Amino acid sequence: QVQLQESGPGLVKPSETLSLTCTVSGDSVSTYYWSWIRQPPGKGLEWIGYIHHSGSSNYNPSLKSRVTISVDTSKNQFSLNLSSVTAADTAVYYCARYAPSAKYLDYWGQGTLVTVSS
Amino acid sequence: QSALAQPASVSGSPGQSITISCTGTSSDVGGYNYVSWYQQHPGKAPKVMIYDVNNRPSGVSSRFSGSKSGNTASLTISGLQAEDEADYYCSSYTSSRTRVFGGGTKLTVL
């Protein structure tokens, strides 16, 4: 059974960089595509981007200048860095796996709340 | 990229059928048969209910079905049950190889 678990600080100061890691079990990050999605409190889902172990990645145009997603095959993890955060970046952050077709998300982590506040 | 348009809320009585629409453009919904639908209960992670417009993953009830016409995709839930009450989100592949979600629809089972 594929499982994903997000980890990282729950509180980040404005203008700093938000960093989260997703640890994958039951599958290898060297297969398929892996993604980050976020959901501000009481609001809808927002797609952040995806990464493939080959290094191929793509990001939401509205976040592209601040986002980096990377993969560490030795640890079977992938990570999210979001720079210059503001209160608008406060959200539950989910990591997820794309199904083999790479067109839909079939496994999700439980999500982790990150609050941006001084 | 703009979020796909969904109604904010829909409601129905147990046993009835409801349909949730998801409207995009020719650069996303209308251009590809890669629309998926996700169900999210409060405090939980989303769960895929429909993929590639009209396919159900193993384990998802046959009461859930999907379709598409032009730039609008639809999710239909027949034989509504109390457990179907949740938020529903559509998502589409885009011409930029990104993905985009809809704004979400809150389903209330009366």
Interface size A-B, in CB pairs within 8 Å, comes to 62
Of A94, A105, A109, the CB nearest to B48: A105
Q: Is the CB of residue B17 less than 8 Å away from at least one CB of chain A?
A: no
pLDDT in tens, B14-63: 999 999 999 999 999 999 999 999 999 999 999 999 999 999 999 999 99
Q: What pLDDT score does B4 carry?
A: 97
* Burial of B106 (C-beta count, 10 Å sphere; 0-12/13-18/19+): middle
A11-12 vs A112-116, strand pairing mode: parallel
Q: What pLDDT score does A53 carry?
A: 84
In order along its 118 residues, chain A shows pLDDT tens digits of: 999 999 999 999 999 999 999 999 999 999 889 999 999 999 999 999 999 988 899 999 999 999 999 999 999 999 999 999 999 999 999 999 998 787 899 999 999 999 999 9
**3-class SS at B35?**
strand
